[in-house]
Amino acid sequence: MNAPNDTQFVTQHYIDGRWVDGAMGGTIAVVNPATGAHLTDVAAGTAHDVELAVASAARAFRAWRKTTGAERARYLHAIATAVEARRKRLAILQSLNNGKSQQEAHMDVDDVIATFRYYAQLAERPDDATGEEVSIPSTEHRARICREPCGVAALIVPWNFPMVTTAWKLAPALAAGCTVVLKPSEITPLPELELASAIASVSLPTGVFNVVTGTGADVGAPLVAHQGVAKVSFTGSTGVGQTVMKTAADTLKGVSLELGGKSSILVFDDADLELAVELVATGGFFNSGQMCSATSRVLVARELAPALLARLVERAERIVVGDPFAPGVQMGPLVNRAQFERVRGYIEQGIADGARIVTGGGRPAEVPEHGFFIAPTIFADVPPTSALWRDEIFGPVLCVRVFDTEQEAVALANDSEYGLVATIVTADEARGERVARALEAGVVWVNTPQLIYPQTSWGGYKRSSIGRELGPFGLAAFQEIKQVLTRRQAN
């Protein structure tokens, strides 16, 4: 299919149930990363817009917190249905603004739908108005644990999976009874604003859901600092996450952080070679490698390394790179020029550090002239001290190293300041379980692609995360725990 040239975009903030321009009238240019062409301009928010949005959410919270789980579930199901109705349009905007292939873009929309459905199911469980009874060794007292919404939640989401990360935060926040102010990335606001339009169409009570577009400095920072915000849920770089945490400390608000990763895939000598090649390729090149979960450090048993590397190079060179709307395209561009230059800088630094480039490294052939494309790139013999091996690159760049023993493989994988994910490829079920338990990572896949289900969990160890998303953990992130102790009534 071809990219539409007559697409209409949502470009305003959504505050207090209305679409509005920013208070200062400023705008931010939005670009198509496949062509470098200007798409539109969206409202550039300021602290004043944040103030209006937080005030709206605070007013709405007084009534929204008292709704039943069943009532909130109906809204969540309605949102999922509204997203389903706009599936094609949302996928188009995702490709236009983010650069994802159409196949990947549709997968993202399906993830959004599944997440809202899941949290609707959690919310519609029968309400327990008296709380959960706790057994205590006393005949005099009765203890109950009650879960209550924490208040106004600020949701700050990134550009690499904009709609998905929004759903992972927004669905549990609404299910918990929180009201929200969402800040999309200023780089990819268009699919987010269309998603917001779908959400607005279900007629949530005024003020429950608000969106302010803008930069981190002009919108994100005042949101995090605002005394009316009870909880911040942020996904982005580790450096910005540290700033969020420091700012939130001034008002002692709750913080959940989903940050960086530099993850490993461990391929043992008994691995199925075809499976290993496919898992390595998808783990490193999906979404043009712009994933915190990218398994960009490839650890392979020495005896299997020559065969794996040869097949991996062949697999990488078959990947069709180009405009996301062109037939057969499997990998699109990087999201913007800044990211393009950043990844190129890492490739140049890797070569300077003595790593051996075996494929890629430059622009692919026959891609749009002004797009931000980098060919799937593979390095071998990467020094463990190189930034290529240690830093999160966020691009289609894999680094391969060999190991001789299981213990060495685990040690190399754990030798990182991050601990988000890992993948294991082995025919030995016991070893798969043993290594999975030894790895310092929040998610481990064994002989399987990077599948993420809303019923499970998401987050990592060390500098990768504080807290968890998805599953019941995602709901708990937006809840306060209250203990109520009473005397038992005499029979």
Q: What residues are annotated to the active site?
A: 258, 292
CA distance 89 to 83: 10
Cβ atoms of 56 and 92 within 8 Å: the answer is: no
Token pair 């990219």 in the structure block, residue: 3
Three-class secondary structure assignment of the chain = CCCCCCCCCCCCEEECCEEECCCCCCEEEEECCCCCCEEEEEECCCHHHHHHHHHHHHHHHHHHCCCCHHHHHHHHHHHHHHHHHCHHHHHHHHHHHHCCCHHHHHHHHHHHHHHHHHHHHHHCCCCCCCCEEECCCCCCEEEEEEEEECCEEEEECCCCCHHHHHHHHHHHHHHHCCEEEEECCCCCHHHHHHHHHHHHCCCCCCCCEEECCCCHHHHHHHHHHCCCCCEEEEECCHHHHHHHHHHHHCCCCEEEEECCCCCEEEECCCCCHHHHHHHHHHHHHHHHHCCCCCCCEEEEECCCHHHHHHHHHHHHHHCCECCCCCCCCCECCCCCHHHHHHHHHHHHHHHHCCCEEEECCCCCCCCCCCCCCCCCEEEECCCCCCHHHHCCCCCCEEEEEEECCHHHHHHHHHCCCEECEEEEECCCHHHHHHHHHHCCCCEEEECCCCCCCCCCCECCEECCEECCECHHHHHHCCEEEEEEEEECCCC
Cβ atoms of 476 and 459 within 8 Å: the answer is: no
